[in-house]
């Protein structure tokens, strides 16, 4: 099962990603988690305290794998050894951090793009683990080819007009990229009225709801990096049912 999770900043997509990773691992699945969001926070949410090297910053490795001299790049480099060398193992989970694809006022990032896409291609098409990708709203690391290997896109959103408008934009990006199955995740739900608002705003969409978690808010104020797992039972069961149909 290959999952991509996106959403407007602040909607809780990273917390959802981490929670699902723990649910899958708890059921005995082998899980690979990928932080593909430029605003990288997934390692922290998983409880990883060690420093993680972003793959996009591996200049010597990228030059060796992709090249780039005279504008010539290797588009499909073998990166299996990269996954072995730069994957962090944490409590039964595997983790890698992609890093930023492009920075302001920087030179062309074509080698980095080719390298990161090769990494995701390898995980999506050549690995048997459950793969959970915490994406940015632009799903920038996914190409059309890679997207066809993604089984399901989860879009985290809150019961506000702005959040739902962004969610619709992300859905269109996902469909254009080749991801055919999309589920909206209504997060931080406090009342039945909020659920009804989202159902009315997204009449043609499937929405799975996650209740507001005050414990998570308290944890965010504390120095401890103890992992807090959301109650994603309904979402997890839905994903498992989707997996059985694939």
Q: What is the pLDDT of residues 87-99, one digit of tens each?
A: 999 988 999 999 8
Please say if the pLDDT value at position 69 is more than 90: no
What are the beta bridge partners of residue 207?
A: 184
Confidence of residue 105 (pLDDT cuts 50, 70, 90): very low
Q: Which helix (H) or strand (E) holds 189?
A: strand 182-189
Most confident region among 155-159, 210-214, 228-232 by mean pLDDT: 155-159
Q: What percent of the chain has pLDDT over 70?
A: 86
Q: What is the pLDDT of residue 192?
A: 96
Q: What is the pLDDT of residue 19?
A: 93
Q: What is the pLDDT of residue 35?
A: 95
Q: What percent of the chain has pLDDT over 90?
A: 52
**Which is more confidently placed, 73 or 153?**
153
| Averaged pLDDT, 74-88 | 85
Please say if the pLDDT value at position 156 is more than 90: yes
**Which is more confidently placed, 190 or 140?**
190
Q: What is the pLDDT of residue 70?
A: 58
**Which is more confidently placed, 22 or 223?**
22
- Helices marked H in the chain: 13-26, 42-46, 59-66, 80-86, 110-126, 144-147, 161-177, 192-201, 214-221, 233-245
Q: What is the pLDDT of residue 17?
A: 95
Q: What is the pLDDT of residue 54?
A: 92
d(C-alpha 90, C-alpha 146), whole Å: 26
Residue range 2-245 forms a domain whose CATH class is alpha beta
- The residue ranges of every structural domain in the chain are 2-245
Q: What is the pLDDT of residue 151?
A: 93
d(C-alpha 133, C-alpha 16), whole Å: 11
Please say if the pLDDT value at position 76 is more than 90: no
d(C-alpha 115, C-alpha 75), whole Å: 8
Residue 182's closest CA among 168, 203, 161, 163?
Answer: 168
| Averaged pLDDT, 10-36 | 93
Q: Tens digit of pLDDT for each residue in 107-147?
A: 445 777 888 888 999 999 988 899 999 998 878 778 878 88
Which region among 64-68, 178-182, 209-213 has the lowest average model confidence (pLDDT)? 64-68
Confidence of residue 40 (pLDDT cuts 50, 70, 90): confident
> What predicted TM-score, i.e. pTM, was given to this entire model?
0.88
What are the beta bridge partners of residue 31?
A: 93, 130
* Tokens 């959403």 -> residue: 7
């Amino acid at each position: 099962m290959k999952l991509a999770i996106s959403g407007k900043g602040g909607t809780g997509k990273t917390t959802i990603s981490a929670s699902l990773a723990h649910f899958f691992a708890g059921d005995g699945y082998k899980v690979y988690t990928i932080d593909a969001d430029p605003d990288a926070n997934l390692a922290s949410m998983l409880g990883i305290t060690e420093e993680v090297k972003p793959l996009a910053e591996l200049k010597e490795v990228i030059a060796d794998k992709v090249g780039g001299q005279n504008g010539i790049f290797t588009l499909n480099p073998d990166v299996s050894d990269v996954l072995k060398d730069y994957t962090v193992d944490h409590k039964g989970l595997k983790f890698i951090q992609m890093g930023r694809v492009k920075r302001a006022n920087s030179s062309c990032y074509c080698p980095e793009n080719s390298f990161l896409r090769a990494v995701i291609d390898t995980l999506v098409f050549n690995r048997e683990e459950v793969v959970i990708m915490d994406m940015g709203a632009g799903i920038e690391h996914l190409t059309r080819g890679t997207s066809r290997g993604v089984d399901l896109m989860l879009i985290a959103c809150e019961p506000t007009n702005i959040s739902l408008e962004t969610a619709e934009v992300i859905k269109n990006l996902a469909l254009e990229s080749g991801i055919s199955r999309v589920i909206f995740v209504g997060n931080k739900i406090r009342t039945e009225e909020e659920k009804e608002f989202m159902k009315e705003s997204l009449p043609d969409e499937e929405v799975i709801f996650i209740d507001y978690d005050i414990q998570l808010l308290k944890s965010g104020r504390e120095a401890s990096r103890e992992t807090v797992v959301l109650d994603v039972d309904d979402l997890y069961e839905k994903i498992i049912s989707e997996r059985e149909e694939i």
